[in-house]
A and B are shown apart, each in its own frame.
Chain A
Amino acid sequence: MIGGLFIYNHKGEVLISRVYRDDIGRNAVDAFRVNVIHARQQVRSPVTNIARTSFFHVKRSNIWLAAVTKQNVNAAMVFEFLYKMCDVMTAYFGKISEENIKNNFVLIYELLDEILDFGYPQNSETGALKTFITQQGIKGQTKEEQSQITSQVTGQIGWRREGIKYRRNELFLDVLESVNLLMSPQGQVLSAHVSGRVVMKSYLSGMPECKFGMNDKIVIDKQGKGGTTDDPGKSGKQSIAIDDCTFHQCVRLSKFDSERSISFIPPDGEYELMRYRTTKDIILPFRVIPLVREVGRTKLEVKVVIKSNFKPSLLAQKIEVRIPTPLNTSGVQVICMKGKAKYKASENAIVWKIKRMAGMKESQISAEIELLPTNDKKKWARPPISMNFEVPFAPSGLKVRYLKVFESKLNYSDHDVIKWVRYIGRSGIYETRC
């Protein structure tokens, strides 16, 4: 299991060091600093083996988190744990920075003692941790409170405590999708997929039982066969094929596996209910058509057209097109129909920004790039043109059909809960080769 956990600043100074196993010595701290943080070349692997000791590291801004072991540990688990550790720290004191870590080092040690025992990860749900790891101490607890804490930390529903009360029962569902595209210069889709997340903010009293439904093709088809759907003609078209999905640990996986229904008791507050991935029938909100012409050895002509491909009534926002330029660019002249475009020498790119754009429109930019003559034999690699945007719909076509809430012990029903649903589609890696 994990033998020790170190946190370093960007200079390689130790901020936190907690050793769990006897086989990890103090020299391990230095070994990582010398061989990884101070190494000259770029990081070649997130797992490093130095003198039969393995180091796993992740980096958050300029902070290094490293887990050390001498055993054949579950590597996936170690990384998941490091991410979780970051989440927990963020939930406690915000951004992970040198200052925040120094300011909270006592708390961090306390957390590390709790969520990692002899290198074995223990319950690391912030909701549960916050009930008994506080900076105030837990002096004033009654016996009932204490046993409630322990049963929650070890219990089946470790992510939610009993006795939560809200005057207004409310929930927010955000369907957040990032659409990824790799397109050839000729407009052929090389690969495209949507990775989506359903994020839920729940402010519900008691221990509510929830059921979530969406236009999953498998569910809809099953219902269609039974003949119970309200509008069979329509549902067939609108359902989507989900390649794969994963759920927060509150979701009963065996029930999903057998009935494909998503039922759970949600954590309180914000959390990620599910992630999913689709590859079929994706709505690509924008199409980028590049045209690059090399005029002699010292000049390039670039023309890029973008077309929006969604309902005209909808508006896309924060549109940004990034057109890479060669390293030996000396000057750029840009003309664009809409928005603003600038050549950013430090980033070797022309950045074209448009605030808003409605569906079924098109816009174009043309640029003349002057090049310095070089004797570098190597041709310019032509990185792809990338794009950023935000659209108010789900490019996968996913629709939330219902989210039902049942709490039998308290006197509120599904109808009393105020529910909000929002769809946001963003660009993931949205690239067109040129």
Chain B
Amino acid sequence: MTDSKYFTTTKKGEIFELKAELNSDKKEKKKEAVKKVIASMTVGKDVSALFPDVVNCMQTDNLELKKLVYLYLMNYAKSQPDMAIMAVNTFVKDCEDPNPLIRALAVRTMGCIRVDKITEYLCEPLRKCLKDEDPYVRKTAAVCVAKLHDINAQLVEDQGFLDTLKDLISDSNPMVVANAVAALSEIAESHPNSNLLDLNPQTINKLLTALNECTEWGQIFILDCLANYTPRDDRESQSICERVTPRLSHANSAVVLSAVKVLMKFMEMLPKDLDYYGTLLKKLAPPLVTLLSAEPELQYVALRNINLIVQKRPEILKHEMKVFFVKYNDPIYVKLEKLDIMIRLASQANIAQVLAELKEYATEVDVDFVRKAVRAIGRCAIKVEQSAERCVSTLLDLIQTKVNYVVQEAIVVIKDIFRKYPNKYESVIATLCENLDSLDEPEARAAMIWIVGEYAERIDNADELLESFLEGFHDESTQVQLQLLTAIVKLFLKKPTETQELVQQVLSLATQDSDNPDLRDRGYIYWRLLSTDPVAAKEVVLAEKPLISEETDLIEPTLLEELICHIGTLASVYHKPPSAFVEGSRGVQHKRLPARAGSGESAESPDVGQSGPAEAPPAVIPSQGDLLGDLLNLDLAPPTATIPSVQPSMQMGAMDLLGGGLDSLMGDESDTLGGDIGGSPSMGAGLGAAPAAMPAALGSAPAVGGGLGDLFDLGGGVGMPTGAYVAPKTVWLPAMKAKGLEISGTFARRGGIIQMDLSLTNKAMSVMTDFAIQFNRNSFGLAPAGPLQVLTPLSPNQTIDVSLPLSTSGPVMKMEPLNNLQVAVKNNIDVFYFSCQYPLSLLFVEDGKMERQVFLATWKDIPNDNEAQFQIKDIHLNSDAASNKLQGSNIFTIAKRTVEGQDMLYQSVKLTNAIWVLAEMRIQTGNPNYTLSIKCRAPEVSQFVYQCYELVLKN
């Protein structure tokens, strides 16, 4: 009975012996021999020489022997295609066998033999089997179509098997349906554009019926297929959800996860105020938690998916923190994932518990886990402001343990805490300095050096500390070298008298003795800055830094959406799109979540206002730097539409200067942060909200844009007779200052296009030609979207009117005042500079009407500190006329309420950089004074929004 003996034959001449045995007359002996052959095959020996002898054994009525021979055939047919033909006859005969098990076996095996000649013979039997009376044969034949498609796709199409397969979706047997769905889904994946899986409400209904009846695996195939369907409306979406939810109680975790995928996807289409939406959210939590009591490998898959779900819909699991607490015996991969989710779920409500746990973890054995736990404490401090103090003291406790890697990790995170809460916890610096000697990892050393440089004025012996690092300068990693350079320059600017020598030493080390170009360049920049203009150097190097954001490792929203569509699959485990790890055409197709019904906005935009943590209000606009110098360095060649793409490199160079090497200090985290949040490299400075795609699109096609925009207006605006107010032109550049060129102008927004209307007058005696225009970096990234169209030379005393379309995809820098724009104009005579201010209403976009629900939630969500109140005096309009007028400038009235003779208008405005401004305007009948309350995450814009209100209402 025992078969293990077959594994042990290793003597020479084995093949000959086997050959003899295979040709034996005795059935038993034959079978024994085939078993030996299979055993040799398994351990990797080449037994292909026995091919004819084994195939000879195929004609038998012993099913066990037959299966063994088939197994051999599947392995070696490819290497012996000519001989494989010998088997065809038997296959064809078996496909006619009265026993359904044998028919199925034959068709199943034939599909696995990848030899062209055999596949030709396969077609007829397969056609019969697809229509077999026995469901077992049909379900096997369905899979066989997928096999054949993998070998020869054209053949499958030519033979019409795809249509037969489609018919099987309506089969009476649920397992046949499931296999047909699986086969079709796979074939459809390699033909992304074919309408193979023609999903319509009828087929969906069939699938949902089969879902209740088929095996657990069949349920997975069907659910995965359902997830590819996009319901027509929210009603259909709800009814599918209702029929899928019972699957959440299935014992098979894969069924549960696939059901979760369908629900997460279709939920996007349900209106949020629907009762069912809330019910569904509640139903999702328990099964997700239950997944954590599965075997560890499945727990891992579940946790990777929960990580995505928590990012997409934090509300589902926000009360379930405890289930993610790490157990002592969890495998390390489960522990690390749980830790990640704990940080994501940390909030003010549960922070005490979380911290207690994290502190516990920081004393565990596994080094990676401990590091991550320490890092997690830092992230909690940054995420939950109220807990920062507790976190810092916990970290100090951990530093006291003197465990080397704990100390180093703690210092790295404390650096981040300093950056988030400047001037708050610097008292701990002394403790940190005590541990200087034990730091041996570059990241920790760099962090410590940054701290010393940043707070040099508070550390008495900062120069000694930095000098001690300088001794082994060339042995340090680049990260540390760059940091040391910056730190010493900072120190010099703060204490110039006693550190002159030190700074010279480091500059020469960096510029002369180093072969690292980054280091050399940075060294030279500092050197020149310091030698030409120390005051400017101070402004550049010691400039205020943007605060770091709270969530450092969020998955970028479009990727997150795609991954949500892949819940349960490998993509969701790797957190990478399938195209990153799948070869060929499969998986190249990007999946997207459906848009919510009834709103033209993309699915994620209503969320933008609500998910507070994703936006970092203080970092909306980077701080002001050396404007003048920048402007002078502008290359004043006639700008073209390609300017936005030229900018990034310049921008990045400048950032380095400003941040004093912050990028390297923050390591990977900040790199991904910049990339993820900014969306484009030119926004690397950390613009809080991703700019809407629209401005970029406008920038690329300004000429057509005008007409198109007008069309959109017609569609969007119902009662919008007034149009936006355009201020009369004012003189921006008097002729006196510009060698006879006078420029006056104004700004306007027409049909979604921002325009700068200019009048150029030549008051000089000679002809002017070669006009070009360039803007300095500004708060909202305004930039010319095309060249200045002055086609004919400007003769003396001639005036020409030009309209310059602007885009908002230029480089961003905060200006003072916010709406200040610095412009350079060039002609054949000279370059002239002037500055002007634009009304903020220029930036109010057409789709700035917020949904009511979102408005309410956002209004509550914005802290009261951000609210500003203004009085608008002497307006003699009733509320309707006012709201009509405002709408012309894209200030949208969402709701109106009348309380005791007072009209309250609730209004929303969206800026081109996706900042929302919410307003409440109170109008008392008979009182010409309006009260305006403005709330915005970036409170600095409120003042300018108010100016727009006044401007619009008064004109």
Q: Which residues of A contact B581 (CB under 8 A)?
A: 49, 52, 54, 72
B332 touching A75, Cβ below 8 Å: no
CA distance A121 to B178 in the complex (A): 11
Query: How far, in Å, is A187 (CB) from chain B's closest CB?
Result: 15
Question: Is A74 on the interface with B (CB-CB < 8 A)?
Answer: yes
CB of B70, distance to nearest CB on chain A (Å): 8
* Cβ-neighbour of A243 out of B139, B246, B286 (below 8 A): B286
Q: Which residue of B lies closest to A54 (CB)?
A: B570
Given contacts A47-B300, A104-B3, A123-B215, contact A77 B220 (CB under 8 A): yes
Q: Does B110 contact A (CB under 8 A)?
A: no
Interface string of A114-126 (1 = CB under 8 A from B): 0001101111110
Report yes or no: B143 in contact with A118, Cβ–Cβ below 8 A.
yes
Contact A71 B582 (CB under 8 A): yes
Binds B, one of A154-162, A303-311, A358-366, A408-416: A154-162
A359 to B7, CA, bound (A): 56
Q: Which residues of B contact A153 (CB under 8 A)?
A: 136, 175
B779 → chain A closest CB, angstroms: 43
A75 to B224, CA, bound (A): 12
- Could you tell me the distance between the alpha carbons of A14 and B41 in the complex, rounded to whole angstroms? 10
Interface centre among B220, B256, B357 (most CB of A within 10 A): B220
Q: Decide yes or no whether A225 CB sits under 8 A from chain B.
A: no
Check if A141 sits within 8 Å of B254, measured CB to CB. no
24 A-B Cβ contacts within 8 A?
A43-B331, A44-B332, A46-B300, A72-B569, A74-B254, A75-B569, A76-B298, A80-B216, A82-B297, A99-B4, A102-B2, A105-B6, A109-B38, A110-B64, A137-B62, A139-B62, A147-B134, A154-B139, A243-B289, A244-B289, A249-B250, A249-B251, A252-B212, A274-B251
- Which B residues touch A141, using CB under 8 A? 99
Task: Write out the residue numbers on chain A whose beta carbons fall within 8 Å of the beta carbon of B251.
Answer: 246-249, 272, 274-275
Least CB distance, B174 to chain A, in whole angstroms: 6
Instruction: Annotate B26-63 by CB proximity to A: 1 below 8 A, 0 otherwise.
Output: 00000000010011001110000000000000000111
* Interface residue B68 (Cβ < 8 Å from any Cβ of A): yes
User: What A residues does B214 contact at CB under 8 A?
Assistant: 156
The docked-state distance in angstroms from the alpha carbon of A13 to that of B572 is 31
Binding site for A on B (CB under 8 A): 1-4, 6-7, 35, 38-39, 42-44, 61-64, 67-68, 70-71, 75, 98-101, 104, 108, 111-112, 114, 134-137, 139-140, 143-144, 146-147, 150-151, 173-176, 179, 182, 186, 212-217, 220-221, 224, 243, 245-247, 249-254, 256-258, 286-287, 289-290, 293, 295-298, 300-302, 322-323, 325, 327-329, 331-333, 353, 357, 360, 363-365, 401-403, 566, 568-574, 578, 581-583, 586-587
Annotate A33-62 by CB proximity to B: 1 below 8 A, 0 otherwise.
000000000111111010010101110000
B175 touches A247 (CB 8 A): no
- Decide: B43 and A14 in contact? CB cutoff 8 A: yes
Residues of A within 8 A of B300 (CB): 45-47
A76 x B301 contact (CB < 8 A): yes
Query: Lowest 6 A-B CB distances belong to which pairs?
Result: A244-B286, A150-B136, A102-B4, A76-B254, A257-B246, A77-B254
A423 at the interface (CB under 8 A from B): no
Q: Which of chain A's residues 97-139 have a Cβ closer than 8 Å to chain B?
A: 99, 102-106, 109-110, 113, 117-118, 120-125, 132, 135, 137-139
Known: A105-B42, A245-B290. 9 other contacts (CB 8 A): A15-B42, A22-B114, A47-B570, A75-B569, A109-B67, A110-B67, A147-B134, A154-B139, A277-B286
Indicate if the CB atoms of A72 and B38 lie closer than 8 Å.
no
Least Cβ–Cβ distance between B699 and chain A, in angstroms: 36
Q: Indicate if the CB atoms of B566 and A72 lie closer than 8 Å.
A: yes
**In the bound complex, CA of A87 to CA of B151 (Å):** 33
Whether B301 lies near A79 (C-beta < 8 A) is yes
Stretch in A205-213, A333-341, A375-383 with 4+ CB within 8 Å of B = A375-383
A431 lies within 8 A of B4 (CB):
no
Q: Closest CB of chain B to A103's CB: distance in Å?
A: 4
Q: Which residues of A contact B137 (CB under 8 A)?
A: 150
Contact A137 B323 (CB under 8 A): no
Question: Could you say which residues of chain B place their CB within 8 Å of the CB of A274?
Answer: 251
Interface contact B4-A149, CB-CB below 8 Å: no
Residue among B71, B186, B246, B290 making CB contact with A256, cutoff 8 Å: B246
A244 and B287 within 8 A (CB)? yes
Q: How far is the CA of A29 from the CA of B42 in the complex (A)?
A: 11
Smallest Cβ-Cβ distance to A429: which chain B residue = B327
CB of A314 within 8 A of chain B? no
Q: Is the CB of A247 within 8 A of B583?
A: no
Chain A residues whose CB sits within 8 angstroms of the CB of B296 once the complex forms: 46
- The reply to whether B365 and A381 form a contact with Cβ atoms under 8 Å apart is yes
Q: Pick the most buried of A42, A46, A254, A272: most chain B CB atoms within 10 A of its CB.
A: A46
CB pair A76–B295 under 8 Å, yes or no, is no
- The yes or no answer to A12 lying at the interface (CB within 8 A) is no
Tell which of A75, A139, A379, A386 touches B63, judged by Cβ atoms closer than 8 Å: A139
A277 to B287, CA, bound (A): 10
Distance of A275 Cα from B295 Cα, bound (Å): 14
Select one of B44, B327, B569 contacting A74, CB under 8 A.
Answer: B569
Known contacts A118-B111, A139-B62, A158-B215, A429 near B328 by CB under 8 Å: yes
Does any Cβ of B come within 8 Å of A70's Cβ?
yes
Is the Cβ of B176 less than 8 Å from the Cβ of A80? no
- B331–A76 contact, CB under 8 A? no
- Among A29, A73, A125, A274, residue most surrounded by chain B Cβ atoms (within 10 Å): A73
Q: How far is the CA of A103 from the CA of B8 in the complex (A)?
A: 12
B854 CB to nearest chain A CB (Å): 32
Contact A1 B186 (CB under 8 A): yes
Report the bound CA distance from A74 to B222 in whole Å: 12
Given contacts A77-B217, A256-B249, contact A47 B573 (CB under 8 A): yes
Q: Which residue of A lies closest to B175 (CB)?
A: A154
B574 close to A195 (CB less than 8 A)? no
Inter-subunit contact B246/A13 (CB<8 Å): no
> Which of chain B's residues have a CB closer than 8 A to the CB of A118?
111-112, 143-144, 146-147
CA A47 to CA B325, docked complex, whole Å: 22
The answer to whether the Cβ of A26 comes within 8 Å of any Cβ in the partner chain is: yes
Task: Enumerate chain A residues within 8 angstroms of B151, measured Cβ to Cβ.
Answer: 22
Q: Are A253 and B328 in contact (CB under 8 A)?
A: no
| Known A109-B71, A149-B101; contact A76-B42, beta-carbon cutoff 8 A | no
- With both beta carbons as reference points, the residue of chain B lying nearest to A254 in the complex is identified as B246
Residue A96 at the chain B interface, CB threshold 8 Å:
no
A80-B332 in contact (CB<8A): no
CA distance A58 to B301 in the complex (A): 13
